[in-house]
Structure 1
């Protein structure tokens, strides 16, 4: 009995001690970042996201910090970026997070400059990049369908998420890092309505270790929300235009999702360019009024783009419309953004800064000194050999009974040449069925025609004797990255070549990815007919490296490499007539410039300009 009473007293004392301890314990810490009803919270306090998109592969690595510092000085507290699967896994199981692809360093640098990060890891990103950010090697598997429940595709995307999380998973807000939240897929409502697919992507992200808050992002229409969102994932809305468009879009979002944050996931404060069309502009005043309205309403926003940069190398993608079968994107991704292609603040930058300063309590940092691109003297370029004279050093010939697309030969980007010697005279219509994207047709080394997918061209009248060597040089100008046609935009000639309705067989194929290893094999000196596609080489001699814009007027159509760095495509049809060349890719002394042209140039020199030129002849 006494023992029982003693035990009861002890248990009571223990219980009281525990209760006191619980009362004295501090309340649980709120998560670093949370989505709470219609608002965001940072460390438990209401938080309005003031963000702008910047894409690390489109900005020279040496300029990352300066461009991020410009974002902070404009009044942004966050930067948004996609993660680009095709840059990080150029071949299956081969990973690249170095140099321009060092996403981890980009995110950590943003944090060091006082900026949070919103990460949009895909697997699909759009962003006017080739194939919407998917690796081209996915197209080597016949019938594989991206953005679907295709098990082959999902196995590849699961591997990608797992590797990406190993790179940046510890930088999430759920672990105290700068990555506030992550986007689930990207504008899926503009593509499909398969919620099982969205749930599968979410499951892959979570399994990989992405445990920060998720959100979806779609255009301002009920049907797009319905297709692109999940009921238990917060949604944001994308739109362009002015303050009235912002109001209507946010109201559309609020009507669709009664609970959830009010945010412009993309406010299109500019637009991108297609080859052969006009350069796009949006007034600084309209952009500023729209941001002013959003901040006055407590609406979070992400400027698409704050700084567009450059689609270096083979980054640029393409689109299509009801009236235009194919619309390749320009190399410049200036986007008429607040920060121009070279990283200079524009009138739009200062108009937005003034508006943001009006709505925030803290004083904004001073605007850093802007880059100063310089005009550089003209330098000569000399013939460095026609393509046909250099084929053997650039490519290994492969035999193929049938015409097949580029991907069937293990090639992702660049050019591909199909060769056949005629057994009999050929007179009639030469038809390149499903040409993707532009073909230069040569007979015995002489150009006899050009066909352009943009204009729906695929037929050329020919009259050729027996024994003629036909060469079909096809340029891949960027895979479609938006809409239903993105799923199978293979490159090269993707169906057949026929002469008067009879399919031609027996081809020799030369893949021409124009990669660094191949270009290093180019011998010195001129060789072959330089009125046909070919190479030109020059030396740009500098006392000191400086940002500049190479003037490509007079050079027709082609590509430029400087010191082995691929600047991208140029084309006389505009609107882009210059190529941005960053100082960090140059050196004091001699700089090697290599130009490949598919149209004979009328110039023999190039020069650097202090700014870009936009002209559509």
Structure 2
């Protein structure tokens, strides 16, 4: 009797610990995935919870079902969930457990990618900025401090998501260990540490790795399924997987790219659906599983865009729009690519299955021009200064994102070159609060010729973090601001006052009806009134460079150089009646008129004169 009672207690504990008793099984067969013991072909699309308003998650998932997807994939973003060391956040739009549960309610399986490194055109590849303040810490390595912080994080993620695995009654069918690690290094011990951490965090279901074809050998860990990224030739996929998996399958394209992302100053990337429909058809006909990256990109808001940087290419910060030319556009509407892919998928449905109708496109609206009637010059609302002999980085100042003003006084009456060593990433230079020039890391600019007036001169350098590098070896060189020294005419400039503008809560910055003085950055606020709520797009074509908030929501960055000229406002963040808007404008403070249009502009490049 005692033995039976003990068993009952253990059984009840297991149910309470992991949510509910298992309902399904998901395993690897010799050549197929096996769902409840039967062959199952994953037809998945990537969809990232922070790039879509929480209120619209279900809508996007219904669209996934309508295209024929049976699964969605998502990363988990460390810098969202632990923005400051030891302070975890899984609330609101960060509530990934809710995201997974909604997917289950909508009949979708989930492939989870919770490794600390995500790439994803995301700030610092998903790493929180504060890791760089841990002296000696090295990301993506076996360095002790990194593994300690990693472990704390993955344990917290496990608390949220391990109970939602299929073997515990949930809908997470696979969990990815690391992310394209073979493109970075080849340390199998490090990969095995990752695997063990996942299991300790409760991820005791099916684990896998994913790498580009050329890097599978280095990124794969024996015993785990090796998934392949970026190729869609069935014979090559089978060969690669067999070589690294004891001659067996199943076969899974973890990232299939029928489109691409954008970065500032470069043409909008589009790929016609016709170039990919036959490839999709051949993959599905061969029984190979697939995850489209992206099915729906959405928008990268809240200063969370990343950047690419290599020795042979310039710094390339990504745009806020993550439309990606994906089957589902930035606003969540079906595109021609969506319809053509759906037609291909429909051909390969199991007997007796049919697809739901495609939901109608959401209405969108224009908003008539309106004036922002309150403003303030940032130079007139300085926070408390941090003083130091040499410039401090954002990280030194314990500031994650946004802007820092560096101010000092130098002796005038001479000419010379101002040099900012290792500027990251964009600096507006002011002499006695008059703009003297701009330095842009994208263009490899770090020096500016100046002629200083007589007497003491106030030198201001307003620096923007335009996104930490998210891929490659430069993950280890990601501090922001003026990261080394400033010299003028060959002499080091010292004695700096630094003022941080992280813009975490736009409501904490006050404005008033007054004329703008000087030509420095400004914050402007106003309201617009609407009688109907619908998606819309702020047209920033006539503005310079900055950020917009609507009803407290950060919509992302704009920059006149393009290709993105509009900022998407989802209907979920609007309300009937008055809506609040705030604009941080860095370059054109005489611009005060805003308007919205009913379609995005994502493909217009412009040359702008900012001198």
Alignment TM-score, normalising by the size of structure 1: 0.91
Q: Deviations over 1:129-171 (max 9, x none)?
A: 0000000111122332110111111111100111011111110
Alignment correspondent of 1:261? 250
Structure-2 residue corresponding to 1:15: none
Matched residue, 1:300? 289
| 1:10 matched residue in structure 2 | none
Residue 67 of structure 1 corresponds to 60
Report 1:97-116 matches (<5 A). 97-116=90-109
CA contact (8 A) 1:82 1:119 kept: yes
The aligned residue for residue 49 of structure 1 is 42
> What is the correspondence of 1:9-408 to structure 2 with a 5 Å cutoff?
32-221=25-214, 224-239=215-230, 244=233, 247-257=235-245, 258-361=247-350, 362-382=353-373, 384-391=375-382, 395-408=383-396
1:608 is aligned to 2:596: yes
SS at 2:314's partner residue?
coil
1:507-522 to 2 correspondences below 5 Å:
507-516=496-505, 519-522=507-510
**What secondary structure sits across from 2:456 in the alignment?**
coil
CA contact (8 A) 2:549 2:582 kept: yes
How far does the alpha carbon of each residue in 1:70-112 deviate from its partner, in whole angstroms, 9 at most, with x for none? 0011110000000111101111111111111110110000010
Deviates more, 1:568-577 or 1:257-266: 257-266
SS at match of 1:225: helix
Gaps of 5+ in 1: 1-28
What secondary structure sits across from 1:63 in the alignment?
Answer: helix
User: Paired residues, what number?
Assistant: 580
Q: For residues 238 and 415 of structure 2, what CA distance do their matches in structure 1 show?
A: 61
Paired with 2:438 and 2:313, the residues of 1 have a C-alpha distance of: 19
Residue in 2 that maps onto 1:477: 466
User: 2 CA distance for matches of 1:61 and 1:389?
Assistant: 36
Contact kept? 2:374, 2:526, Cα under 8 Å: no
Tell me by how many angstroms 1:519 deviates.
Answer: 4.2
Hey, what does 2:9 align to over in structure 1?
Answer: none
| CA shift digits 1:309-362 (9 cap, x unpaired) | 000111111002444220000000000000000000000001011111101121
SS state at 2:370 partner: strand
Which shows bigger deviation, 266-275 or 606-615?
Answer: 606-615
> Which range moves more in the overlay, 563-572 or 168-177?
168-177
Query: How far apart, in 2, do the equivalents of 1:595 and 1:572 lie?
Result: 14
Classify the secondary structure of the residue corresponding to 1:137.
helix
Distance apart, 1:247 and its partner CA: 5.0
> Matches of 1:466 and 1:602 in 2, distance apart?
30
CA 1:37–1:602: 2 relative to 1, 3 Å: farther
**Of 596-605 and 361-370, the range deviating more from structure 2:** 596-605
Deviation at 1:287, TM superposition (A): 2.2
* CA offsets 1:491-543 (integer angstroms, 9 cap, x no match): 10111111233222211011110110x64231322354253211122211111
* Displacement of 1:582: 0.7
Instruction: Please say if 1:429 is aligned against 2:417.
Output: yes
Which residue does the alignment assign to 1:443?
Answer: 431
1:558 alignment counterpart: 546
In 2 relative to 1, CA 30–67 (structure 1 residues): closer, same or farther, beyond 3 Å? closer
Q: Secondary structure at the match of 1:550?
A: strand
Distance 2:250 2:389 in 1: 57
| SS at structure 1 position matched to 2:373 | strand
Which stretches in structure 2 are left out of the alignment for 5+ residues? 1-21, 607-611
What is the alpha-carbon distance in structure 1 between the residues aligned to residue 605 and residue 243 of structure 2? 43
2:534 aligns with one of 535, 546, 554? 546
Distance 2:145 2:355 in 1: 49
Which residue of 480, 485, 489 corresponds with 2:478? 489
When Rg is computed on C-alpha atoms for both structures, the one with the higher figure is: 1
In 2, the alpha carbon distance for the partners of 1:304 and 1:104 equals 21
Measure how far apart 1:299 and its partner are. Answer: 0.3
Q: 1:515 to 1:527 in 2, by over 3 A?
A: farther
1:505 equivalent among 464, 478, 494:
494
1:16 paired residue number: none
**Cα-to-partner distance string for 1:466-513 (whole Å, 9 max, x where unaligned):** 311111100000000001101221110111111233222211011110
Mapped partners of 1:250, 1:237: distance in 2: 10
Give CA-to-partner distance per residue, 1:245-288, whole Å, 9 cap, x none: x6545543444442232111000111000100010111111222
Check the 8 A contact 1:427/1:461 in 2, yes or no.
Answer: yes
Give the root-mean-square deviation of aligned CA atoms: 1.6
Structure 1 residue matching 2:362: 3-state secondary structure: coil
